[in-house]
Structure 1
Amino acid sequence: MNRLRVTPGPVLALTAVWLATRALMSWLLMHDSSPLLGGGSVPREVWRLYFHWYGVLSHGTFPSHDSTWQYPPGAGAVLLAPGLLPWLTYFQAFVLLTLTADALIAAALVRAGTRPGRSLFGAALWTCGLPLLLHLPLARYDVQVTAFAVISLLTLRRSPRAGGVLGALGALVKVWPALVLLGTPSGPTTRRAWGWAAAAGGTCLVLVAISFNNPLAFLREQGGRGVQIESFGGTALNLARHVGWSGRARYQYGSVELVGPHVPAVAMASLALTAAAFVLLVLWRVRARHWSPATPYDAALAAVLLFTVTSRVISPQYMIWLIGLAAVCLTSRHTSQRPVALLILAASALSSLVYPVFYREVIDGTWTGCLLMLARNGLLAAAAVMSFVRLWRSARPPTGKTVPATQPRPDSDRLPDRALSIS
């Protein structure tokens, strides 16, 4: 096969932009004490909460009876990793490792984008989109989780086994990367990816159970979570304050949640919507008959969007996941998710206004806070609906033709020449 020549100009430009934007994000993190940047609230989670968990994990046990610990056991490895750099403080080592994971994602997207039939738009989206969240990504471990998901997706077509293992490892850190395996082409690819994911996940769980105490303690605390203030349910309840609802905001389970009348009903409605989203995704999987090279990417983004918008919790760092998955979609010229990626970028920019800039307004339920949340969540809702509709349509065979549910060639992202001529 004749490979396309890749000019170094775009790659060098992306590298320069990555270095400049990450330097700016680091500068913002060092000047977080400004009231507009959260007054020190953004990095507090690392040097107070993560460092506390690091101390507990270092003694061979997971936090128990700790309402803020709600993460699968794989998260322990990420939180222990800064200890591998003892010449740095925990905070410095954590940020350095986060930047390393960020660079790894960018490099993987560039490598994918320079292959024949691919695009560098994915690398550009990640490089330029992540700074829309200001310095928040450097003070959360979601970049590391997103690295597992992104590299799993980019690996799936060439090595379903490696893709499955990486997806399972990501799921052990923060559950949602398991969704990246939803769109694997039916047949041997799915059997290999899902089989190796199950084997790797089970093996790692056994090893963790042998090495640590209380590996499943997070389940008890996760089940007790209520309605976080930035979720769709939280936005509805905040608006209800203006018509007499007597509830209030309270910090619990590691986030600001709303407590008061009807909150359990709203939480149950969110869980019911999540179940409905799961049914929709299963229905798509069963009825899908046509896989393009971009279908696994598009399916992963649609699935995570649906589970995000129906969740009881939509923390600002969730946008990191969506930017990463949208970037993977844009590495393929055949993705159906380009408009969705634009909506995600707009929602990310608004998320930075919500937190940390105007977070006090959101907590107090002022009209400013409510309108910001309506706008951000409205964009996410539109993105989720558009993403799933486009995924559904892309999986239907062309009109008048019956297309078997087969996977594309593993060594190319290009459609036949005739298809390219009518694109």
Structure 2
Amino acid sequence: MTLRPPRDALLASAVFVAAAAAVTVAWQLLGHAITDVPLYRTYGERIASGLVPYRDFAFEYPPGALPALVLPALVTDSLTAYRVAFAAEMAVLGALGVLLLAEGLRGLGRTGTDRRVVLATVALLPLLLGGVILTRFDLLPAALVALALALLLAGRLRAGALIVGLGIAVKLYPALLVPLLAITAWRKGGRRELGIVVGLAALPALLAYLPFTVLAPDGVLDSIGRQLGRPLQIESLGSGVLLALHHAFGLSLGWASGSGSQNLTGTGPDVVAVLLAIGQVVAVALVWASFARGPATPERLARHAAAAVVAFVALSKVLSPQFLVWLVLLVPLVGGPRSRAALWLAVLACALTAAWFPVRYWELVREFDPLASWLVLARGMTLLALLAVLTWPATERARARSRSPAPSPGRT
């Protein structure tokens, strides 16, 4: 990895931060911001005052998220100051994430116009995600995944595995990369390398959870259980289908707030949530199996890492807008003939989200706003299309071979 980032990477990083800051401030001034920052501040102040998460109060995130939430509470004493400090944290992480993405592109040999298009697109994506990109902590795991991929693509498998483990400790979704690392390790060094790599990926998460598991095992289990048992969020693909049926055929739907989101209620949504969960597990497993069937090249590793995360996001029963932040620093690494299609589908998914979030979100929830409903469905279908692009078997051109016709028996 290079210590001195190239000029194009620095420029993209600066534009990314400027765009994210500008749109975040704009939504705040317009009064449309929907943010988790007040919740983060509550967590941070409780911990700063000596309370223990999971034991003294319910905490829904993995323990690796705590530093990002606590640090602003240690240096500020008001919500406004906390908001600025937290956004500054995320801006720094976003800047580093873009630099790490550029390093990953370098490791894949992506240069010239292709590299410039990718960096320019990523630099401007906060214009579409400004409602969430600096008001959620998802840039932290996204930047860690970008660092892990940069290391993996440079051939540093063990270091990459350790960083993946740090990502798991912050937000669980980087665990989707562990089977890909295991396959790569097995092929590189057999059983011993497999054990080392998987152990390195598991170690940070185990160390992060261990003290809280000792202090408050019930609280930790409750935190994990609440995430696994969440109902069908109104922003998910499954909800998009049900909302479409509601508007097209009059399907009766209800909603309620719970588990930190607004969700569709009733038997139908419960069934759809189960079907989505099954589909999610199957889709992610198929991505892992696809990687196992081919060579563990850097290009295939990057593509299948993106595909695993996209499968998880697209078929999740909870699909908050900030989940798209996970894709911003990952999908652009996909190279080859499908790279442009993957990049523009990711951009389209962000644009469709921006068309209704945050400005039409409460109309979607309270009134099942028709435009927002169809946009939710369109966003979900776009993510499925992105998954198809990432996983569709590559077609290789048959090599042209000139063969001399074999002489027929008996001919002279």
TM-score interval w.r.t. the shorter chain?
A: 0.7 to 0.9
Residues of 1 paired with 2:287 and 2:123: CA distance? 30
Residues of 2 paired with 1:219 and 1:11: CA distance? 37
Whether the 8 Å CA contact 1:50–1:79 is kept in 2: the answer is yes
- Between the two proteins, the alignment pairs up a number of residues equal to 380
- In the TM superposition, 1:258-269 aligns within 5 A as 258-269=264-275
Picking from 155, 162, 166, the partner of 2:163 is: 166
- Cα separation, partners in 2 of 1:209 and 1:32, compared to 1, 3 Å: farther
What SS does structure 1 have at the residue aligned with 2:257? strand
Residues of 2 paired with 1:12 and 1:351: CA distance? 27
Bigger drift between 11-20 and 99-108 goes to 11-20
Picking from 358, 374, 377, the partner of 1:374 is: 377
- Correspondence 1:271 to 2:277: yes
Whether the 8 Å CA contact 1:347–1:379 is kept in 2: the answer is yes
Picking from 57, 61, 85, the partner of 1:93 is: 85
Whether the 8 Å CA contact 1:323–1:341 is kept in 2: the answer is no
Unaligned runs of 5+ in 1: 401-423
Per the alignment, residue 349 of structure 2 pairs with: 347
Residues of 2 paired with 1:322 and 1:134: CA distance? 15
Amino acid at match of 1:136: V
- Cα separation, partners in 2 of 1:93 and 1:220, compared to 1, 3 Å: same
Shift of 1:190: 5.2
Per the alignment, residue 283 of structure 1 pairs with: 289
Picking from 20, 25, 29, the partner of 1:22 is: 20
Per the alignment, residue 69 of structure 2 pairs with: 79
Per the alignment, residue 204 of structure 2 pairs with: 200
Residues of 1 paired with 2:225 and 2:54: CA distance? 11
Percent identity between matched residues is: 26
Amino acid at match of 2:207: T
- Correspondence 1:328 to 2:326: no
Amino acid at match of 2:267: P
- In the TM superposition, 1:23-422 aligns within 5 A as 23-33=21-31, 38=32, 40=33, 42-43=34-35, 45-47=36-38, 49-58=39-48, 59-63=50-54, 69-86=59-76, 89-113=81-105, 117-119=109-111, 120-121=115-116, 122-156=118-152, 157-184=154-181, 185=184, 186-188=187-189, 191-210=195-214, 214-242=219-247, 243-288=249-294, 290-329=295-334, 334=336, 336-363=338-365, 364-389=367-392, 392-393=393-394
What SS does structure 1 have at the residue aligned with 2:110? coil
Per the alignment, residue 419 of structure 1 pairs with: none
Amino acid at match of 1:235: G
Choose between structure 1 and 2 for higher RCO, CA contacts under 8 A separated by at least 6 residues.
Answer: 1
Per the alignment, residue 420 of structure 1 pairs with: none
Bigger drift between 243-252 and 86-95 goes to 86-95
Whether the 8 Å CA contact 2:108–2:298 is kept in 1: the answer is no
- Cα separation, partners in 2 of 1:115 and 1:176, compared to 1, 3 Å: closer
Amino acid at match of 1:95: A
Residues of 1 paired with 2:250 and 2:57: CA distance? 34
Residues of 1 paired with 2:258 and 2:203: CA distance? 35
Which one has a bigger Cα radius of gyration?
A: 2
Whether the 8 Å CA contact 1:82–1:90 is kept in 2: the answer is yes
- Cα separation, partners in 2 of 1:11 and 1:210, compared to 1, 3 Å: same
Per the alignment, residue 411 of structure 1 pairs with: none
Root-mean-square deviation (CA, aligned residues, Å) is 3.1
- Cα separation, partners in 2 of 1:216 and 1:31, compared to 1, 3 Å: same
Shift of 1:66: 7.5
Residues of 2 paired with 1:64 and 1:399: CA distance? 62
Amino acid at match of 2:371: T
Whether the 8 Å CA contact 2:238–2:317 is kept in 1: the answer is yes
What SS does structure 2 have at the residue aligned with 1:136? coil
Residues of 2 paired with 1:277 and 1:116: CA distance? 26
- Cα separation, partners in 2 of 1:56 and 1:86, compared to 1, 3 Å: closer
- For residues 188-211 of structure 1, give each alpha carbon's deviation from its aligned partner in whole angstroms, at most 9, with x where no partner exists: 365543231123332332244357
Bigger drift between 260-269 and 84-93 goes to 84-93
- For residues 209-235 of structure 1, give each alpha carbon's deviation from its aligned partner in whole angstroms, at most 9, with x where no partner exists: 357773333123223311001111111
Residues of 1 paired with 2:288 and 2:298: CA distance? 20
Shift of 1:248: 1.3
- Cα separation, partners in 2 of 1:123 and 1:84, compared to 1, 3 Å: farther
What SS does structure 1 have at the residue aligned with 2:20? helix
- Cα separation, partners in 2 of 1:158 and 1:192, compared to 1, 3 Å: farther
Residues of 1 paired with 2:164 and 2:128: CA distance? 26
Residues of 2 paired with 1:277 and 1:65: CA distance? 38
Amino acid at match of 1:46: V
- Cα separation, partners in 2 of 1:57 and 1:87, compared to 1, 3 Å: closer
What SS does structure 2 have at the residue aligned with 1:150? helix
Residues of 2 paired with 1:266 and 1:19: CA distance? 38
Residues of 2 paired with 1:29 and 1:369: CA distance? 18
Scaled by the length of structure 2, the TM-score of the pair is: 0.82
Amino acid at match of 1:365: F
Whether the 8 Å CA contact 2:244–2:374 is kept in 1: the answer is no
Whether the 8 Å CA contact 1:78–1:141 is kept in 2: the answer is yes
